[in-house]
Structure 1
Amino acid sequence: MFILWLVLITAGVLYGQGLVFNKLVFRGLSYQREFRQRSCFRGDEVELVETLDNRKRLPVPWLRVESQLSAFLGFRASENFDVSRGELSQNHRSFFSLPGHTRITRTHRLTPIKRGCYRLSTVTLTGGDVLGMSQRHLQLPLNSELVVYPRPAAVPFHELPSRSLQGDYSIRRFIVPDPFVIAGARDYQAGDSMKQVNWKASARTGELMVHQYDYTADRCLMVIINVEDAEGMWRSVTNEALIEQGIEWAAGAAEAAAAQGMEVGLAANMPLMAEFGSLRFEPGRGQEHLYMLYEAMARLQLVRTEPLRDLLEQEARMGYANRDVLVISSYWNDELEAAAQSLRRLGNSVTLWELQDAQRARTRSGEGESA
């Protein structure tokens, strides 16, 4: 009889605790998951932080947290942490046990292996009683995003026309004298500032001489990326690695130009995420502008919006001059050369960095004569 009562009491306790935990497991419980950094470069290590707060007296015996993440986020192995990886996505699971009035913060380190925009959308919590006889599920929305910039490649920037490396270059038109570009010395004239005096030349000639400043145009590089991985491609990219290489070359060229104080612009026959038209940013300078270009490259979709020929012709119709135009493409033909000549006739230079499966670049360049 005693054993029967013991069994009944035990069954009642188990049933009762199951009811209690099943009803109250998510009460007073909050969960957050977010990337500690908003952005990084491909290959950088970043942190994903989970915070679980149990604000009630009743403990949470066990809690499983599950979410779907991109397979291009590589996690380190960790205690109470499990990842099931597929080709494009992975199932990320964390396990917790919380006493009453307890907050737990857990940090996971991961390395993005591909540029892009990675969003945390939803997470599923599963909790239950002590023995796991009953369980409940709760789905929560998340709002955190990690923007992964392409890693700027070490590019053959020296293959651009020499005027790009030197920055400002002399032109045969009147613009404004540049006080940083000295072409020689001349005789002092009424109205010249004493700051312009060339003391070495004055001592050598015995007469007052001043600096002769040259007339220059601002430094400017326009980078154009072609998404077509082969001549005759229609819309779908088959060699994604080749185009990703081109995007990293573009990032490297932009970084190298910006480091020399040049203005940098960007165009591509690809759309940004959730957009349809070709990407285009007018040239600008400074770190803020450079990182804006990095973010645009991170959000590029590998989808063709228009042929490269049309994009180059559109650039020529804009009528700008005195720019170094860098085209990064997997191929070149007579139609593209004709479009490039239109840009050169306006006084621009056009340089090709050709993408190849052998990871080498062949450069063809030409400069238009300045008007």
Structure 2
Amino acid sequence: MKIRGWAILILALILAGTLFRVQWLVGLGIATGGVLGIAHLWRVRVLQNIVYRRSLIYTRGFPGETLPLRLSIENQKRLPVTWLRIRDSWPLNLAPEERDSLAPSHVPGRGYLTNIYHLWGYRRVVRDFRLRLGGRGVYSLGPVTLESGDPFGLGECHEEIEMPATVTVFPQLVPRSHLELFSEDPYGERGTRKRLFEDPNLTIGVRPYTPEDTFRQIHWPATARTGQLQTRVYQPISAQVMMLCVNVATSEHPWLGTLPEVLEHLIRVAASFCYYGIEDGYAVGLAVNGGLTSADQLMQIQPGRTMDHLAILLQALAGVTPLITHPFERFLVHTASHVAMGATLVILTAVINPSLIEAITLIKRYRHHLVLVALSEAPPPSLAGVKTIHYPLSSEVKGKKE
């Protein structure tokens, strides 16, 4: 019954008791009004100064690992809370080891991390969980719903808090032995790993011209100033640079849908190349023609070789979606034109078609370090000057059985 209905009932009891001189009716009306007033004021104040906190020491990890989670709820007022139910929207791939902690939800792939508390004034309760990480992805936590009511059970109140937070589950790595990398030259580089190249995009000075210099190296403004031919001096860079270009298409016709198993296989192999490349001392960059969980824009990460950079690469791969932002052939040619000279270009794809072969042939005219990693079931064609690794999904399944 609404407040107006209760008010009419209470007034009727008091008037009836007064007119007919029935004292217990008057007392009943006053007592009922007092109880309803207390219940209303209790519901108005019960959720005030309630502080809910999540404490995640680590916010990223690999599938199968566990992360510690601490939940704390504090009542920062004198008024006690007879009961408090907290429902935290939670992804199923971050479920606590105690499966009963997650209640069903109407949102696919999510549940409610539900806890019920009884809090006296100025009291705090802490609960610890272990989260077991499932499939790769970037998962959002929240929102949080607080529910409570008056001690008489006459009504309830609730409040929703956003409390945004994210947890990243990195892609599962493929064992190095399963990738069948080249033993002497794993990522397609030739000669010594300490050789230096020059980046034509980074000029650091000039020097006098020598017969070995090419026409493009001549610095014409400096030549005009000095009256003698001057040559550009470029920034030297290490040959240990690898740019990984990933095609998220899983079939010839992406508009017909995505094959989830093939996409996950593709992401696992990409993450493995990033991990083992940095482990071997390479500066690794990443370019993917697929959208991210939080954006649908083109993703390109410049090469780096630190462990922090590796975390950035793995986090980016964790959030890759099947949404194709650019056709891979044009995307590949555009990316290759912006990669430093001397770097290795690793092309990772599950779809081999004539357009891709044509794009690789075009890139091969001005790049000497190309590796094609084909995840298609059929072996890729042999291309002159291009090293090829064939690693279909069936190879991974076989490796797991062994």
Distance 2:292 2:248 in 1: 13
Alignment partner of 1:230 out of 251, 261, 272: 251
Secondary structure of 2:321's counterpart equals coil
Q: Deviations over 1:123-143 (max 9, x none)?
A: 111111224222111112203
Q: After superposing the two structures, state which structure 1 stretch, 140-149 or 256-265, moved more.
A: 140-149
Task: Check the 8 A contact 2:75/2:124 in 1, yes or no.
Answer: yes
The correspondence of residues 214-363 of structure 1 with structure 2, limited to 5 A, is: 218-234=239-255, 237-318=257-338, 320-356=340-376
2:63 maps to 1:54: no
| Structure 1 segments unaligned to the other structure (5+ residues) | 177-215
How many percent identity over aligned positions? 24
Task: Check the 8 A contact 2:187/2:344 in 1, yes or no.
Answer: no
Q: C-alpha root-mean-square deviation of aligned residues, in Å?
A: 3.5
2:117 maps to 1:96: yes
Match of 1:88, as an amino acid? G
Task: Check the 8 A contact 1:34/1:143 in 2, yes or no.
Answer: no
Relative to the length of structure 2, the TM-score reads: 0.69
The correspondence of residues 1-371 of structure 1 with structure 2, limited to 5 A, is: 15=36, 17-77=38-98, 81-85=101-105, 87-155=108-176, 156-160=178-182, 162-164=184-186, 169-170=191-192, 218-234=239-255, 237-318=257-338, 320-356=340-376, 368=385
Q: Deviations over 1:133-167 (max 9, x none)?
A: 22111112203221222222224444248334697
Q: 1:108/1:83 Cα in 2 relative to 1: closer, same or farther (>3 Å)?
A: farther
Larger Rg: 2
Match of 1:278, as an amino acid? L
Relative to the length of structure 1, the TM-score reads: 0.75
Displaced runs of 4 or more, over 6 A: 3-10, 165-168
Q: Deviations over 1:154-184 (max 9, x none)?
A: 244442483346977249x9869xxxxxxxx
Q: After superposing the two structures, state which structure 1 stretch, 60-69 or 317-326, moved more.
A: 317-326
Q: Deviations over 1:170-220 (max 9, x none)?
A: 49x9869xxxxxxxxxxxxxxxxxxxxxxxxxxxxxxxxxxxxxxx95222
Task: Check the 8 A contact 1:61/1:98 in 2, yes or no.
Answer: yes
Q: 1:55: how far off?
A: 1.8
| Structure 2 segments unaligned to the other structure (5+ residues) | 1-21, 199-236, 387-402
Q: Whose helix proportion is higher, 1 or 2?
A: 2
Distance 1:272 1:222 in 2: 19
Distance 1:294 1:56 in 2: 44
Secondary structure of 2:162's counterpart equals strand
Task: Check the 8 A contact 1:168/1:217 in 2, yes or no.
Answer: no
Task: Check the 8 A contact 1:29/1:53 in 2, yes or no.
Answer: yes
Q: Whose strand proportion is higher, 1 or 2?
A: 1
Task: Check the 8 A contact 1:41/1:149 in 2, yes or no.
Answer: yes
